[in-house]
Structures are given as C-alpha cells and as structure tokens.
Amino acid sequence: MSSRVMQPQTTERTPNRWIILLAGVLVQLAIGAVYAWSVFAKALQNEQAFGWTKAQAAVPFEVAIGMIFVGSYIGGRIQDRRGPGVVALTGGVIYSLGVIIASFADKDRFWILILGYGVLGGFGLGMAYIVPIAMLQKWFPDKPGLITGIAVAGFGFGAVITAPLGQHLIAGDPSVPTKAFLPLGIGYLVAIVIGASLFRNPPEGYVPPGLAGPAVAGSSGAVPTKDPVPEADFTAPEALRTPQWYLLTAILTLSVTAGISLISVAAGSASDLSGYSAAAAASLVGVLGLFNGGGRILWGWLSDRIGKMPAFMGILGIQGACLLLIPHVASPAIFAVLAALVYLCYGGAFGTMPSTAGRFFGVRNAGAIYGLMLIGWSIGGIVGPLLISSLIGEQKAYTLGFTVVGLIALVGMVLPLLTKKPAAPAARVTAPSEGAQTAPRTRR
C-alpha cells in the first residue's frame, strides 16, 4: 500500500519552493491587515463618527485576536491530515467575508462589527495564518528560522499597506469609518484565493536542492543552525505532556502582551505623546508595520545562529526597556525609534517561535503543535490592549500604562533561561530501530 501511495508523489514534478514561499507571503499580507486596527479605532472614537470610548473601540480587535487561537488550532489539525491548500482557502474566505460584513456596522449596530471583524475575521485569520508556517518548515528544513520569519513577515507588512489605505478610505466618509472595510475585504479575498491555490506539502522524503542527505533527519551539515533537529517528531498530545511546550507558550504570551499593547494604541499614543497629526500617526503606523515584518525576518535568521533562547531574551528585554522610555519622550523622532524597536521585537517573537517549536518537537505535526501554542497570541492579544487601555484611561495616564507593561516584559526574560530542549518521547527512545522510523508514518 505504501508504494501505491508514494508513486504519485515521486512521478509528479516538484513545485518550486520559492514560488510557494511567495504565495505564503501574499496570504499573510492580506490577513496581517489586522495590525492596522489602531487607525480604525481612532476614527471610531471621533465625535464626528461614532464617538465610542477607547475601550469600546478596542473590543473588535480584542475579539479578533482572541479568536485566532480557535482558528489556528482547528486549521492546524485539519492541515496535518488534509493538506494546506483547502485550509488556507477556507480560512481566507471566512476572514474576508468577516471584514466585508464589518462594513455594514454603524453607531447603533456595534454587534455587526464584533461578529464580522471580531468573530469571523479572527477565526478565519487563525486558520489561514497557521498554514504557511507549518507548510514552509517542511519545504525549507535547511533554513527554518529565516523562512518562517519571511513568511510571517508578510503578516507584519500587512499594516504597511492597510494603514494608509484605510486612512484614505475613511477620509472619504469620516462619519461612517466602517464603510472602508468593504473594498478592503474584497481585496483581501482576491489575494488569498491567488496565494492559497499554490499551497501544497512537499513529497514524502523531500530533500531541498543542494543538500546531501535527509535534512529533517538531522544528517551532518544538512541543517546549519545552532539548535539541532529533534530525535523524533512529537505528536500534539506528546508535546503537551512536556513542560517545554508551556514555557514556550508563556514566552510567546508575554512578548505578545508587551508588543500588542503598544500596537493597539499606537496612533493615539503618537498624537498624544509626540504631537503627530491624525494623518501622520496613520502613516507612522504603516511605517512601523515594516519593522513588525522586518523583525520576523531578522530575529528568525538571528535565532538560527545565536540560539532560540538567547534570541527570546533579547526580544523581551528590548521591548521592556523601550516601553519604559516611550511615555517620557516628546520628540516625534525618538518616539518613532522606540516604537520601531518594540515592533521589531514583537514581530521577532512570531518569526522565531515557529522554528523553535519545530526544533523542539519536529515538523511532522507542526500545524497542530504550533497552532495550540498560538493560544499565547490570543491571551496576550486580549490582555495587552485591555490592560493598557484601562491603565491609560480617559485621563491619558500613559506613564502608568507603559511602565506596567514594560516591567512585565523585563520580568519575562527569566523564562528563556528555564527552557531547555525536551528529550524524545519515551516510546521512541526505548525502541529506536522501530519507533523512530515507523511510528511517525503509521500516524498519518
């Protein structure tokens, strides 16, 4: 039976893995528009529009981030069984339809914005987000940190496009800023359909061009990273029985809490602390998206060379220090530099964690394992904006808000020091001649 299954994979022409990478970036660009929410939040608070409070304007974003875990968990499990294309397309369509539905919200129909942008948009985003991350680790076992960094960089760069475009669309009818979601949702749908149609897993036993052996098996010199490949591929239940899974999830949670706190109030903070106009603040949010995306590539690449845990210590430490400084600077230029560093490190956690999970638990079941870890994104995405908006309040107590969040990030630096690579599952250790080779195959 195994030969009959393997035959189509060996006779078909193997797709160019760089084209698949570009397709993954395209999908991530569309769903990464969620990071431009502060532009819409500021418009929703305008008295000429809906006049909502800062806390009200944060709710749709918080719901969307909270739903990401649900979508990524379900999408990851389905992807490991059915392949990446159908999951990415389904998630992308749900996400796009949610954004389109959000365009029908108005001052008296707050629930439509929560349902469309929050529930449907967040769920679909999670489904589509996990796919290229898990898929591309299988195509690029020789460059795990760099490639997953590039893939999720598209997510960070999404705000670069959406922030100024959204501001332009809002300016067309500032009294109903939600109307901007209709053309945006249609554009996202087109991009996702094009990208997801190219998604597929590599054939069984795939070895990237130029490598001399089975890279995923850890042959000498095949994977030039500081962190070696795991001895065996963990299943999701096996990963959940290790303390390392919880430590990694906690690291991701704290990084998200720190970074997304600034992201959720970026436009308003730029105006209140450093005197940016509404248009200039929106442009700054777009530029900061470059650092969100660039950090995913930079830290992903750097983590392959210095090690995953040293990278996470740098990510948390830099975020914490910058957040402590931000409320004490009035210079627009210094504000931009500090915010850019926070965005760089916030994106860096997302660029580094997928390959870290792959190095700890293997890539065969990466969709389910990393999909579960994204609960840290949802927790941080809810706690961060709620915490900082409540601390800042209507009195605009930015010093209190940023100081508390900054200290959380600095304290979190202890977690990477406690996190060591897990041992292989016991069944694989006691029967290496059989379990190491047959166990992963019989699960599929």
pLDDT per position as a tens digit, 75-113: 887 887 788 889 999 999 999 999 999 999 888 888 999
Domain presence at residue 444? no
Q: Which of 136, 184, 90 is nearest to 296 (CA)?
A: 136
- The enclosing domain of 237 has a CATH number of 1.20.1250.20
* pLDDT tens per residue, range 249-260: 999 999 999 998
Domain presence at residue 442? no
Domain presence at residue 211? no
Whether the predicted pLDDT of 192 surpasses 90? yes
Pairwise CA distance, residues 154 & 214, whole Å:
29
Pairwise CA distance, residues 141 & 360, whole Å:
14
Domain presence at residue 216? no
Query: Are 89 and 193 in contact, with CB atoms under 8 Å apart?
Result: yes
- For residue 323, give its domain range: 18-201+233-435
Q: What is the chain's mean pLDDT, rounded?
A: 83
* One-letter amino acid for residue 153 of the chain: A
DSSP structural state of residue 48: T
Instruction: Lowest mean pLDDT of 82-86, 89-93, 269-273, 278-282, name the range.
Output: 278-282
Pairwise CA distance, residues 28 & 37, whole Å:
16
Pairwise CA distance, residues 441 & 291, whole Å:
40
Q: Give how many domains the chain has, as a whole number.
A: 1
Model pLDDT, residue 432: 41
Domain presence at residue 126? yes
Domain presence at residue 332? yes
* pLDDT tens per residue, range 345-402: 998 998 899 889 888 888 777 778 888 898 898 899 889 988 998 898 878 889 999 9
Domain presence at residue 222? no
Q: Which of 267, 260, 254, 289 is nearest to 385 (CA)?
A: 260
Query: Are 266 and 285 in contact, with CB atoms under 8 Å apart?
Result: yes
What residues have CB less than 8 Å from 411, skipping those under 6 apart?
none
Domain presence at residue 125? yes
Query: Could you give the C-alpha distances from 381 to 62, 145, 341, in angstroms and in order?
Result: 6, 23, 19
Model pLDDT, residue 197: 92
Query: Are 300 and 149 in contact, with CB atoms under 8 Å apart?
Result: yes
- Average pLDDT of 311-336? 94
